[in-house]
Structure 1
Amino acid sequence: MRQPMRHALSATLAACVLALSGCATSGAPATAVETRSTQELLDASTPADWRTPDPANLLYMDLAGGRVVIELAPAFAPEHVANIRTLARGGFWNGLTLYRSQDNFVVQFGDITEEGVPGKPIGSARAKLPAEFDRASAGLAFHALPDADGWSAQAGFVDGFPAARDDRKGAGRTWLAHCYGTLGAGRDMAPDSSNGTELYIVTGQSPRQLDRNITTVGRVLQGMDLLSVLPRGTGPLGFYEDPKQRTPIRRIRLASEVPANERTPLQVLRTDTPLFDAVVESRRNRRDDWYVRPAGHIDLCNISVPVRTPPAG
């Protein structure tokens, strides 16, 4: 019970600093503490509260309806990410399709072929990779949540990615959580049967049962609205029965390979700051007029990390 109390005090102090108001520091927040909405907290942010993703870790998926921006996570799946970069540079996904949309689950894209029909060449990319379901916790700046997690010993964030870890028996393993917008590498029965050519994006209720059973390689920063509205496939597991129902992919490129004037400028709120703690607290205990009582708890996958277009000037 002590950790949540410490976090509540820490969040209260952070809110006090942001609100520039006095607060009690003896364990319980003073009744005069000013509270702010998530938007008010973000409006009070400083440039240091935001980070600009590395263009070498960004994928642009261009569809007829617009662009989906995906941030890759080489710290968690370095071999898959390296292969995905190679595939993107070779134009592997250009002209392929989103061929699956399963209700309340995922959309999937890549090179779907009929049985016995050769697939698209993968060029210099590797056909075989090891499973990268989790990694050693050492070397990761894990920003933990005080809230209990039903799928791990502890949940939190690593550089903006929702993650979980288990260090209870000295195992020291951390992994990316299957939250809305997570990008994963589809596999067959064998754990090491993924190579990054077939990818899926979570569009439904967070399927955390997949954690540590499949390699997760990133998350969508912008463009989920283009994916979540795709017509649901009527075939088994949401596959489109008619190829005409598939959504064409114009191209998928690394942002680092795109001219600067054609890139999508984005900033992501840092998840290792007092401001982020205050933002999480504003979602954990909603104090909007509509809410009758605060929840006192928040699930990892219910925390949306804010993304914005950099302000002018």
Structure 2
Amino acid sequence: MLSLLLALALSPEPPQAAAVQSSGRVAPDKRAPSEIVAAAPASDWVTIRPDDLIVMELAPDTTGRPRRVVIQLAPPPFAQGWVANIGTLAKARWWDGTSVNRVQDNYVAQWGDASEKKPLPPGLNKVAESEYEMPFHPGLFPNLWSNGAIVPVPARSSNAAAARAPKLADPYAEHYTFVGGMPFAMTMKGTAPDRVWPVHCYGSVGVGRNLSPDTGTGAELYAVIGHAPRHLDRNIAVVGRVVEGIEHLSSLPRGTEALGFYRTAAERIPIRSIRLASDLSQAERPRFQYLSTESASFAAYADARANRRDAFFIRPAGGADVCNLPVPVRRAP
């Protein structure tokens, strides 16, 4: 794996992102990102554990169509106090009969107990603000994404390699990386990675809270349904991402009160249930996989996202931030 990452770091194109022409010159890969993902071998896909998925069943829409939202929870060691609380709340069936209470345009859809009077189950963690970010730990991060190259930790790409590579820099952080199929941003201390935190991209799920020092329990959750509100990073806990059914949240009517809250109880969208996937029967349990961010397929996909060369595009953008590299997810075969 290390030799592959070194080759990627020192190459202007990921290994699957170019083809050799008869003249001997290297031609850029002209496949669309979706075509690269579709061609990824089975070995490049990672199965998400049932304990790491929660399944929210909303009341059917006006046509009677079911509305299921599936959320992948953050991997250890990130946000684990809140993740444990979410598991406790789901096992206690605490969310059954609650509702989506707030839908703010280009921002978030938020759910929980609108009355704020429903007793919480015992044993919930009180999580400190310091848990919004974590110290860097090399064992967790096989690579960084910096200026278009996959860089083995703790090695850094050469300036020459970075100059040739597409720009995948992030405007809110010096570097970014991926863990367990989720995006993370990172600061540096000198030349070494320092602090790491999950980020607010479209579909990210966070914990509602009151003013500091309150950090929320996880009983109030929201999903990002608009432009990535990255100013929230390290100010609110990010505990997962929606892997299926985001359209059931993003298409809801917008609330007319301040911050997008619904004015009346009749406007709220009832929640029938929220369960851990591991607590569902085998027939009901969803099964998902994400494309390994350590794979050559993902390197080619990231290059294609930053430099669209397929037929529709006239000018490649030449760059992509972390939220423009959503880790592909599929139903497990």
Give the 5 Å matches for 1:187-198. Answer: 187-198=209-220
1:112 equivalent to 2:114? Answer yes
Contact map agreement 2:8 2:14 (CA 8 A) in 1: no
Deviations 1:95-116 (A, max 9, x none): 1000000000001001122xxx
Determine the C-alpha separation between the residues in 2 that align with 1:304 and 1:15. 18
Deviations 1:210-252 (A, max 9, x none): 0011111111101101110000000000000111110000000
Mark the runs of 5 or more structure 2 residues left unpaired by the alignment.
1-6, 61-65, 148-167
Letter in 1 for 2:144: A
What SS does the corresponding residue of 1:180 show, helix, strand or coil? coil
Determine the C-alpha separation between the residues in 1 that align with 2:40 and 2:332. 12
Moved more, 171-180 or 81-90: 171-180
Letter in 1 for 2:184: A
What is the aligned counterpart of 1:99 among 94, 98, 101? 101
Contact map agreement 2:29 2:309 (CA 8 A) in 1: no
Deviations 1:240-284 (A, max 9, x none): 011111000000000010111111222111111111010011111
Determine the C-alpha separation between the residues in 1 that align with 2:15 and 2:37. 17
Determine the C-alpha separation between the residues in 2 that align with 1:256 and 1:80. 18
**Counterparts in 2 of 1:6 and 1:12: CA distance versus 1, 3 Å:** closer
Contact map agreement 1:175 1:212 (CA 8 A) in 2: yes
- Structure whose residues are more often strand by fraction: 2
**Counterparts in 2 of 1:74 and 1:38: CA distance versus 1, 3 Å:** closer
Moved more, 47-56 or 300-309: 300-309
Contact map agreement 2:15 2:300 (CA 8 A) in 1: no
What SS does the corresponding residue of 1:244 show, helix, strand or coil? helix
1:89 equivalent to 2:91? Answer yes
TM-score (norm 2): 0.83
Moved more, 287-296 or 276-285: 287-296
Contact map agreement 2:174 2:187 (CA 8 A) in 1: yes
Structure 1 position 162, deviation (Å): 1.0
**Counterparts in 2 of 1:61 and 1:205: CA distance versus 1, 3 Å:** same
Determine the C-alpha separation between the residues in 1 that align with 2:208 and 2:27. 52
Contact map agreement 2:104 2:261 (CA 8 A) in 1: yes
Mark the runs of 5 or more structure 1 residues left unpaired by the alignment.
none
Query: Which residue does the alignment assign to 1:301?
Result: 323
Moved more, 87-96 or 161-170: 161-170
Determine the C-alpha separation between the residues in 2 that align with 1:103 and 1:232. 6
Query: Number of paired residues?
Result: 295
C-alpha RMSD of the superposition: 2.2
1:70 equivalent to 2:71? Answer yes
Query: Which residue does the alignment assign to 1:37?
Result: 32
Letter in 2 for 1:121: P
**Counterparts in 2 of 1:248 and 1:8: CA distance versus 1, 3 Å:** farther
Q: Percent identity?
A: 42
Give the 5 Å matches for 1:239-258. Answer: 239-258=261-280
Contact map agreement 1:87 1:125 (CA 8 A) in 2: no
Contact map agreement 2:31 2:304 (CA 8 A) in 1: yes
Query: Which residue does the alignment assign to 2:140?
Result: 140
TM-score (norm 1): 0.88
